[in-house]
Amino acid sequence: MNTTPSRTTDLTKTDTPTDDPEKSATDTAVTEDPTATVAPSEATAEAEDDDLEPGPFTEARHGVGAGATAVVSAGLGIVALTGAWSGRVAAERETLMGQIQTAGGSSAAQQISEIYADAWHTTALVNGLFAVLALLVGVFVVVRPVFGTPATTPQPAWIRAVALAGVALGTLGVLISVGMYFDLFLALPVAGTPAG
């Protein structure tokens, strides 16, 4: 036979502080301290660290627009020095218009002016336009960090170098175009006087 008395649990009865002194001390400590703070979890701390340190993709994206603009500036400078397709088309158009205007018979000086000089000056204007664009875009990239909101990281050195190359090529292109337009490098051909 079973000699131990059986114990039944009453579900309606709640523990009082006198029943379990350790539990009541812990509960009162938690409920009575309104200034107690909960320590952040490790996941929250790692997420905050990730926000402070830029990732590799963020660093790679920094300066992409300025770098592309600097390359465009250098490209425009090269086009200004070598000549553009649009400049050749405009020069050929001027040549054709000069041939049409002098088809009815005109002096040699007028033919030189209408056929050759106008095409030469048109080429100088188109190349000069590309040179001015290269100069303006390059200067914009160089001085952009000075204006606007300051960047968190400095502009990469290669961007400044390519932009300065665009400025140099643009300046050289402007000088050459001005010399071409005003016939400073090569004078226009002069028609000889007819003999007799």
Tens digits of residue pLDDT in 31-84 = 555 555 555 555 554 555 555 566 666 655 667 889 999 999 999 999 999 999
- What torsion do the CA atoms of 50, 54, 58, 63 make, to the nearest 10 degrees? 160
| Residue 6, pLDDT above cutoff 80 | no
Q: What pLDDT, on the 0 to 100 scale, is given for residue 164?
A: 97
Which phi and psi (to 5°) does residue 99 adopt?
Answer: -65, -40
71: nearest Cα among 158, 130, 132? 158
| Residue 1, pLDDT above cutoff 60 | no
Q: How far apart are CA 44 and CA 160, in angstroms?
A: 40
Residues whose CB falls within 8 Å of the CB of residue 114, separated by 6 or more in sequence, listed in order: 97, 98, 99, 101, 102, 106
The pTM of this model reads 0.67
Q: What pLDDT, on the 0 to 100 scale, is given for residue 76?
A: 97
How much is the average pLDDT of 6-24?
Answer: 56
| Residue 7, pLDDT above cutoff 80 | no
- Convert the pLDDT of each residue in 123-181 to its tens digit: 999 999 999 999 999 999 999 888 877 777 788 899 999 999 999 999 999 999 999 99
Of the two residues 16 and 118, the one the predictor is more confident about is 118
Q: What pLDDT, on the 0 to 100 scale, is given for residue 58?
A: 64
- Convert the pLDDT of each residue in 99-119 to its tens digit: 999 888 888 889 899 999 999
Residue with tokens 């030469």: 120
DSSP letter (8 states) at residue 187: P
Q: What pLDDT, on the 0 to 100 scale, is given for residue 152?
A: 75
Q: What pLDDT, on the 0 to 100 scale, is given for residue 53?
A: 61
Q: What pLDDT, on the 0 to 100 scale, is given for residue 145?
A: 84
Q: What pLDDT, on the 0 to 100 scale, is given for residue 121?
A: 96
Handedness of CA 167, 172, 176, 178 (dihedral sign): positive
